[in-house]
Chain A
Amino acid sequence: KNQVEQSPQSLIILEGKNCTLQCNYTVSPFSNLRWYKQDTGRGPVSLTIMTFSENTKSNGRYTATLDADTKQSSLHITASQLSDSASYICVVSDYGRGSTLGRLYFGRGTQLTVWP
């Protein structure tokens, strides 16, 4: 069964500190993996996307890693800011098979709170 599991469910850190969020998946055949940031009351916004051959992708203070062999990804946030407080969602997509379209599989997200 295709699944995406994220940990921790929630995390509180102090402003300026670093943190790492985890994503494990069982989706196959793997197409790509995205990390989204969702601010309260808004829609998710894509931070990074990685395909099978990529193992690191950065977007400012956000760095995502992918280990396709172990089916794990992490999102590292450096020098956190108050504006980083949000839910971070890992989304994995597969390739379609035959007449079936590929689809997206969503983790339940990690709720990050950054305190001053």
Chain B
Amino acid sequence: DAGITQSPRHKVTETGTPVTLRCHQTENHRYMYWYRQDPGHGLRLIHYSYGVKDTDKGEVSDGYSVSRSKTEDFLLTLESATSSQTSVYFCAIGDRVTEAFFGQGTRLTVV
């Protein structure tokens, strides 16, 4: 799994609660990404980072924020979870912007 660890692997939370997903890498790659995967949509980019404290929005960033205070950690936060954010979330890393190695995913259910 290219030295990527996502935590938690599964989470059930209630609507309106904050949720933070963590991605940890041991590869010292510059680029880190958060994707969500839903049936019929494939993988969609939420946010990405191109260095410590350097982040930018992807195509489905509304309702999500990220932080990267260290090279190895990239956090995804849902400030107030909604049912539409029920999904499988994947972290990916890359040494170049045109590559991505994926983690195992986090299955999030918002009830």
Contact = CB atoms under 8 A, between A and B. Distances in A.
Interface of A: 31-32, 34, 36, 41-46, 49, 89, 91, 93-96, 101-104, 106-109
A31 B99 CA distance: 10
Interface in B43-89: 43-45, 50, 56
Given A43-B90, A103-B45, A106-B42, 19 more contacts: A32-B98, A34-B99, A36-B102, A42-B104, A43-B1, A43-B92, A43-B104, A43-B105, A44-B102, A45-B102, A46-B101, A93-B97, A95-B98, A96-B97, A101-B50, A104-B98, A104-B100, A106-B43, A109-B42
Interface of B: 1, 40-45, 50, 56, 90, 92, 97-105
B66 to A, nearest CB: 16
A95 B98 CA distance: 8
A43 B102 contact: yes
Contacts of B40: 108
Contacts of A34: 99
Given A42-B104, A43-B103, A108-B41, A102 B1 contact: no
Among B42, B50, B104, chain A packs the most CB atoms within 10 A around the CB of B42
Nearest to A6: B42
A106 B59 CA distance: 12
A106 B44 CA distance: 8
A81 B85 CA distance: 35
Nearest to A109: B42
Contacts of B90: 43-44
A89 B56 CA distance: 24
Given A102-B97, A102-B98, A103-B97, A89 B104 contact: no
Contacts of A31: 98
A42 B1 CA distance: 10
A59 to B, nearest CB: 15
